[in-house]
Structure 1
């Protein structure tokens, strides 16, 4: 699965990119129908409580899946976003089951 990263209003972080890549590789191993992922890491200065935003869009057969979260740290935002995507993937996997 190919993963494209875009950092908006924040510095590029190799450690964060590696962390996200590892988490998405686990998803790709479990759900073999994933094609690619677009990851957007954003920083919002106006929101002092959170402001660390992670958007992930997964490309797969059928409609794309999208999840976003806004947390205190980027790691928490990534974990929450991937958790939301797992829930959506479980629903989508039911469609692809062969009876």
Structure 2
């Protein structure tokens, strides 16, 4: 599985990109048909704490899965997005 991480308007530290890769690649244990995952880490311009956004698009043959979560840290947003995708992958496998 190929993992692409995009961080528009800021430079992500290596520790953050390593964290993202580690968690996103765990999705591969649920399905060996994942072709690519594309991760977007963004900062929203909200005044509240939950201004970190993680959007993940997972490409499968004939289908794409998508999850987007807001949190007060990128790590938490990534974890929430990956959890949402795990549920989607389980439903996709049984459909």
TM-score, normalised relative to structure 2: 0.92
Residues 54-85 of structure 1, C-alpha deviations (whole Å, 9 max, x = no match): 00000001220000001000011001000110
Name the SS of the counterpart of 2:11 in structure 1.
Answer: coil
Q: Which residue of 1 aligns with 2:52?
A: 52
Q: Structure 2: where are the runs of 5+ without partners?
A: none
* CA–CA separation in structure 1 for the residues paired with 2:65 and 2:37: 10
* Structure 1 residue 46, shift from structure 2 partner: 2.5
Unaligned ranges ≥5, structure 1:
none
Once residues 14 and 20 of structure 1 are traced to their aligned partners in structure 2, the CA distance between those partners, rounded to angstroms, is: 10
Deviation of 1:93 after TM superposition, in Å, equals 0.8
- Find the structure with the greater CA-based Rg: 1
Specify the SS of the correspondent of 1:32. Answer: coil
Greater length-normalized contact order (CA 8 Å, ≥ 6 residues apart): 2
2:2 — aligned with what? 2
Matched, 1:20 2:20: yes
- Rounded to whole Å, the distance in 1 between the matches of 2:24 and 2:70 is 19
CA RMSD of superposed structures (Å)? 1.2
What corresponds to 2:81 in structure 1?
Answer: 81
Count of aligned pairs:
95
1:70 aligns with 70
